[in-house]
Structure 1
């Protein structure tokens, strides 16, 4: 009952915080250079969500591997277990563009604000078209100096059951000549992807060494990113099976 009450309070304040930030973007976003909008609006939004999560729900986090973050931009490839990481990863690197499902653009306030930010909306019902848009738009953002966040699993996966990676992130990195920064986390243990009650605890986030693209094709890069993330998940979450060979991708 306590966890349920805390979660209800969290979502109430999250809704108010979302309306406030979204309204700020809608009112003032056009007056801010595009490359600064993430830093001025999205990063504070994510930090506010992390604060609410920690204070109200008792969910904190610890990060290992900050030294692997490069000076320039890269493709961020992370596993996807919940909504938590979509908030958290906005606080870590800026400026940033994120691949999102197009349905989010229709949500009142939130979606309207998203249209003024650097999002790459895709139709997951049309994988081929979505892949082409990810590669084209993502490469353009990377060339401009943006980080681009991609969840190669495509959709949220239950904690302890990582999914196979698509090649969109790798194709984008190859086209732009940028590396991939792999990130593994076990957020699903505290913020279940298919549940709404938050479980107090500490989320582990591990930032891996850069995956360079020179001399590799998309399949090789995808294999490397998937293997590193799955191996790391097995280390920070005992319920995740050891990584298997990805040569069949």
Structure 2
């Protein structure tokens, strides 16, 4: 075995010495004032190649390089790697900008809920299609009287298209007392419509109809089909046609990874 190691040692050592001999004298001990950046870089690359050959020679002799490497040769490779990786990351950000997570978000599926509208305690069915990651979304219903004390906006920057986002909640308002928080998304609300016009509404627009024997009935309306905040306010105000103290029903979606779980989340029912 010794003869085999010897036979492998000399070619590697000869190559190592040849690299050493080929280096300019300035590489052996370059002065800080005279050596240029490119000279130091070339010197480092040459020394790195020589280090690799020496490591291979030690391995061929059956020796572990780490315990026998002089203190001057010890390199904090892990620290150097972390610094270089951090530097490269900053360079990528400078070139490409901040990259969004490539994690695939599951596609939301329509969910069915049963709710009782303010004008009737009869359970009615409504379907909604979530905007948020379904793994982090929770839905809840609120019954309250106007005014609600909500500041809403549609198609807010960085928010889903057609979503009415709650931007602010008045601390003493009816919505705040019912647990609505900034960041919630409004999905559905009650509105009062002429009974004779309800026949032209598709199931997408109107999920259920309740009410008495009069001309006007309270219905659940999908908010994504409402064009503006002003139109939304008009729909909410229509509930007062049944009386100034008539409650409205609203269905919200909440990202529970960023906000607390609703006090009484809705439970989906089979379709």
TM-score range with shorter-chain normalisation? under 0.3
- More relative contact order, 1 or 2 (CA 8 Å, 6+ apart): 1
